[in-house]
Amino acid sequence: MAFAATKLPLPLILLVSGVALLLLASSVECYGGGGREHDVTRSAVPRRSGVGSRQQLSRHRRTTKAAAAVPHRYVLSEKDGTNSTTRANNTSPAASNSTPPETTPPPPPEGNHHRRSHKHRVRNWIIGFVVGSLAGVISGLAMSVLFRMALNCIRGRYRNKSDTVIFIPKLIKNKDHLSFLEKEDGLASFAVIGRGGCGEVYKAQLPPESDGEPPRFIAIKKINKGQNNNNNNLSDEESRQLDKWTRQIQSEIRTVGHIRHRNLLPLAAHVPRPDCHYLIYEFMKNGSLHNALKSTATDTSSTDENRNNHDPSSMTTTVLTWPARLRVAVGIAAGLEYLHVSQRPQIIHRDLKPANILLDDDMEARIADFGLAKAMPDAHTHVTTSNVAGTLGYIAPEYHQTLKFTAKCDVYSFGVILAVLGTGKEPTDPFFAQPQVDDVGIVKWLRRVMQEGDTAAQARLIDDAIAGQGYDEQILLVLRIAVFCTADDPMERPTAKDVRCMLSQIKN
């Protein structure tokens, strides 16, 4: 299965490049031919104009000499008008005989030639402009395709399908460290620390680079391709399941494979195999937020033993205090802000819940499991899907009704997480199935109690594990933010950036 952009065939690229070079050469030739013809035309015109000027100059000189050879005659006025007229008539033949008249030759007919040369220049200019423009466009397209292919090769998108892709070289420094996954029973000796709809999650230790290096652990998510290689023989349910697994792999690689943030769990490597895919992550020893909220103080005595047995249900040592929960809430909001605001195109997680929030060594929140994530282009206001994806109780009502999701759907899910952090109850808690509880679900229950304004009833909202420790006022403020985030109208919900700012003010 292809996880990257389709590679263009090399002969097509070479053909496009050759055509672009031929068009460019023809355009240059057109420009050069037109220039030479213009030079000949321009050089011929001055020669002809020069000959005409010399002829006119010689005629002017001969006329001037002839006029200078004739003596000036001064005619005195006489009383007898007849004599003066006779003398004037007598002098006229002499003057006419001394300067014989010359006929000026007509100029050569150059108007038609000038018009023809002007038409040739205009035609050659238009042809050169059109051919040059086409050659430039085709050359630009060819160069952009070649540049994109080179950039994708540098980024590793055109790797062999059976090749291992490492996204975090700092954690996995060599592909040989994952060579144990090539064996059929490569994961048989490792413990399962989690199970999901697409497969199991294993914990493994990488081989040390040198003596004295601290151990490095990774989490391996195994996603099966299906037992039957012939997809035509699969049932409809198996085909849908296979498509789901394929989309999850592609979504994981497109999102967390190339983005980095303190509150996101990045994809460390991808190892494809004929029958399955392995997605490698950094191991989070404190487990998920779901397990941390469900743990009790009595688990402390058996924590070390459970960790040695790789028991995922007891990864944490003590109950999360309110400062730790508030820190987790701020971290989740910061990760959402990065996905919705800083990342372009923005990424919608679509499956925010405590089980998909992992805790690192410093108890910082890491948003994980991007199998349902979608990238929404900037020009789109929403994305429409064919069915609803997510976890019951954390899905926004408008997404459930219209199959259209936006970034405000993630804000709704985050509001439910805030309610869980403050009350200690999840949407599927048996508390909401009791007859004395009129409200269906944690959202309506929390909204009704907070809007009534009963101080005693609001105090009973707080989780017993963190109540009465001096943080009740902060907890109620966070629960009010949860009510804002879970508003029925998505336009009334704050953005992830606004939520992060409000939580940071409470923390400080």
Residues with catalytic roles:
351
For residue 376 the two structure tokens come to 């929404």
CB 252 within 8 A of CB 267: yes
55: three-class secondary structure by DSSP: helix
The enclosing H or E element of 138 equals helix 111-155
**18: enclosing H helix or E strand:** helix 10-69
Q: Which two tokens stand for residue 115?
A: 């018009």
Element (H, E) at 268: strand 267-272
What is the per-residue DSSP string for 288-345? Answer: BHHHHHH--GGGGTTHHHHHHTT-GGG--SSPPPHHHHHHHHHHHHHHHHIIIIISSS
Q: Of 188, 339, 191, 342, which is closest to residue 264 (Cα–Cα)? A: 339
Tell me the β-bridge partners of 372: none
How many other CB atoms are found less than 10 A from the CB of residue 323?
Answer: 14
**276-282 and 346-348 as β-strands: parallel, antiparallel, unpaired?**
unpaired
Count the alpha carbons within 13 Å of 81 in the hemisphere toward its beta carbon: 0
Beta-bridge partners for 201: 194, 221
* Cα dihedral 285, 276, 352, 460 sign: negative
Determine the length of the chain: 508
